[in-house]
Amino acid sequence: MARNKKKIVILGGGFGGLFTALELAGAGDVTLVDENDHFLFKPMLYEYLSGEVEAWHIAPSFSELLDDVRTVRGAVTSIDLDQRSVTIEGRPAPLTTDALVLALGATTNYWGVEGAAEFSLPFREIDDANRLRRRMTEALDHIQPDAAPQDTRAALTFAVVGGGASGVELATKMADLLRDAVKRRALRGEPRVIIIEMTDRLVPGMGGEIREYVERELAEQRIEIHTQTRVARVEPNVLTLEHNGRESDIEVAGVVWVAGVRMNPLIENLKVEKDKRGLIIVEPTLQVRNHPNVFTLGDIASYPDVPPTLAGTAQLALQQAQLCARNV
């Protein structure tokens, strides 16, 4: 009977992929493919940055979480939907499957801004938080104990690009950490944390009451808000902004980029029906049109019957995972 088990391959170990695997465990020969060897509870990545939780609290290994599911660590380099095969970097032969689940998620969108991908820091993974923490520590270490207040402020200038919920939460965590470090080291002055937002308001899409609360909190923490401002380019230690048609440079110790996401490049290259945003259009069963043995969920899928305001949330991914597993 073991030889007759159907092969199921799940690409992506985020909320959608992991919980699909959990639902399918034991239902066939199930394989989960991900670039990492662990799941990440991304809503608490901010608490990891601040040291409130450890990595093992929010990033358990797949081997701890999954029984009766094989895990393969590696980057997917190509997907053949007709053959239902997946090529993984470093593996001599592709994985073939009876049912393929696409849950690859989105990637950081730099919007074509010059230097953004090279010189700014994303904030999506454990390693991203580690790099940001090191950058903040290095900036603090360069400040002399007798430095003037303005020198401390200049050395600890950090910009967060993106004024959505992620950018706001990240900026407040960074300001808290830097302010506490300045106090512990008995330095004079205070850090400077800036939020850059292209639209005319923070947390676009949220209600006015929430926005007022957010703005009050940011004001209390003395976090600068630059709305209607575009990032023109990012260079090492220099951020160029454009506002009202004029450019200005800000010397920075670091730039963190949380200004939205883009479609995974692997999905961009798939020849399937997509919506205007490049998302794969799926049937109510989560099957890809014209590919009944291929299922898609999460940030890369478009569900015509689901309000767009629900897209991109972990809660929706959990519901999709249950539906996807049942239909697989």
**How confident is the model over 242-263, as pLDDT tens digits?**
999 999 999 999 999 999 999 8
CB 49 within 8 A of CB 177: yes
DSSP class of 15: H
SS3 content of the chain, % helix, strand, coil (to 5): 35, 25, 40
3-state secondary structure of 125: coil
Query: For 117-144, how does the pLDDT look when each residue is reduced to its tens digit (9 = 90+)?
Result: 999 999 999 999 999 999 999 999 999 9
Q: What does the pLDDT read at residue 1?
A: 39
Provide the angle, in degrees to the nearest 10, between the axes of the packed helices 165-184 and 126-141. 40
Q: What does the pLDDT read at residue 304?
A: 79
Instruction: Output the six-digit token pair for 220.
Output: 């209390």
Long-range CB contacts for residues 55-60, cutoff 8 Å, separation at least 24: 55/126, 59/126
In terms of Cβ atoms closer than 10 Å to its own Cβ (0-12, 13-18, 19+), residue 62 is buried
Q: Reply yes or no on whether the pLDDT at 56 is more than 60.
A: yes
Q: What is the chain's mean pLDDT, rounded?
A: 94
Q: Reply yes or no on whether the pLDDT at 286 is more than 70.
A: yes
Give the contacts of 52 (CB within 8 A, at least 6 positions apart): none
Q: What is the mean pLDDT of residues 169-194?
A: 98
Side chain identity at 149, as an amino acid letter? P
Long-range CB contacts for residues 69-72, cutoff 8 Å, separation at least 24: 69/21, 69/22, 69/24, 69/25, 69/30, 69/31, 69/32, 70/29, 70/30, 70/31, 70/32, 71/13, 71/31, 71/32, 71/33, 71/34, 71/37, 72/31, 72/32, 72/33, 72/34
